[in-house]
Structure 1
């Protein structure tokens, strides 16, 4: 049983920052920020969950079944992540590449304390705790001062794959496409730093400020951190309604209004970008249909342009109605990993990725999010994100692009650098 009260706050932007700063005292933290981005499907302006009462942490073996049992037995709020390598639990695929981070493949926790901000109302939910503690914590949050950190703190970033090797690998992918093995592959490369010492929260706040995406995440599990400025939703469940919003198609933003509008219109009309998006939309439709009511799968938006502070993106929206007797975790398992981060056909694309990429993706191109007590959920796609192991002092971020028959390797490399821009700006 949770104790729940509502507090009115005068300055929602200030209370958001105070919440995430106050949360740093806890071992487990998930802070989700929508940044007031206009979107049809949203539950809150921000959500903070801290301090595990129970938790599940495991490798990929039988991971979805373990998560299903945990979620169905707990019937409470759960926050955590699914790493990309959970694919090995679903399909006959493996990953033997370097893993510099070593995060668990799956981690979720049942928080003792939850804060949900909607407008000027802050809902506070505590597990098995009294009103006095809520009042004490709320006062402490309001007294929390602005974060002080070294803005000159820099990190020496290295590319795991050189431009020359990247071009060679993309040409290898193109040969597979021309032979008909695949239609599209999302090929990614890692940027990393060893002996990196950062203030994770400070870097997150800077990354979030220059990006303001709808699915920002600050995640902490002891010494493991995810600092995410993701613009992409993987999957959301509202009752029996399932929503997926894959991104495929990227264009640069410009300060000049006319140039910026031209860039957006060029993206909208680009046949290569549209074909990328439509192929992945088709893949997502197929994945969702496995647990959907017959005839309920719909593409409600196709190739719509959404603008963010760093880039314009082409996004499609697919909806469906969940069929009985499928559960929340069944939907996740049947659609994971998300099509926008794999390719088509999915298994062939994943096998090529494992051969040509030089590091395990881990949490990158996985998903962070939450389950509600009634079995609804919302998960982002872990892109535009910095991953950090504070103990190993290893820092990593990865970027990728969709390779299709019309891809030019050098242009795909430039797209990767464009997507890496915000992370570079924060770290250097």
Structure 2
């Protein structure tokens, strides 16, 4: 009897070990408290909802269940590093991290490379990480800040009837006083030189609640357009300040982190007509969003307490983040097998994504975000931006997908990568040899 009991116990332990090994762990370094909690809660809520949807619909990926654990960063660099260290080796090891924070990403990049864990910096982080020869473990998927900056100028060109008509125009770049805010200055300078418009940079000290002197300066300058590079409380403060000085909101074009319902609603009437970029469209018209609501929330397992936030800008961005994470796991399984994969294997999956029109239709995300195809040297995989306008209640598309001006971005990326590799005394990867 004792031998039988031991055998049964060992068998149960073996089964438990197999079950545990069959899980794919995805850390969730979220921020649901603090100054940026509103957007963070919806973003990570959408991401978690998608992971649960895949588990409920398919039993995971290739039979491997997706598991996750949240860690609150409060959007602070030190807390983000703590979360990275706490979660990186949990439950068999982290698949990948998405901090949705440029600062935390910079603070963990060297650690992630050493630990061989990919960082997914979808629509944020350092733009030159597009070049996988230097940044093997960083993936600014869909569109980087630099790509978006060139798309913003091209959108203004569409507004004035052609890029040639930008010559002589006056544009102000109103930016958040941080590394994030300053990221696109060299790109905008290059675009101004290329197209002959006058560019003036105006800094707003973080967090951006006080902007009276900056908008008085803008009123004196009388620009044709204002490019707004904002985040959090800076956005509604900018729109209200623009209203006070009489600057037309339809001539303000923001980046995507200034373009959510939270940003516009907080500004009230001052936001009407305001335009912002987007890399993932909002709305419930997409089959994937409808299926999540039906499957996950229908079973009472939704991550958000208020279903009214489903389909909002930040929620849909979170769903897209989940899709890219899962598709990277699928791609990696095709090479390494349907089993629990380590971070380095999933890094290969991120580097070999191919979400084309057919795959988008299968996923129920046609036109929700641009098609994505990555490679060893191209960790961005797209480079397209679309623009939307706030009508007082909803965001409405006002452009198609605009491709980055690579004639501007690629030389800047090369120069930055060359400098980075010299500073690090590193040899760039030979992508041709790795094929």
Q: TM-score band, normalised by the shorter chain?
A: under 0.3
> Bigger relative contact order, structure 1 or 2, given CA contacts below 8 A and separation 6+?
1
More strand by share: 1
Q: Which has the larger radius of gyration?
A: 2
More helix by share: 2
TM-score normalized with structure 1 length: 0.25
TM-score normalized with structure 2 length: 0.25
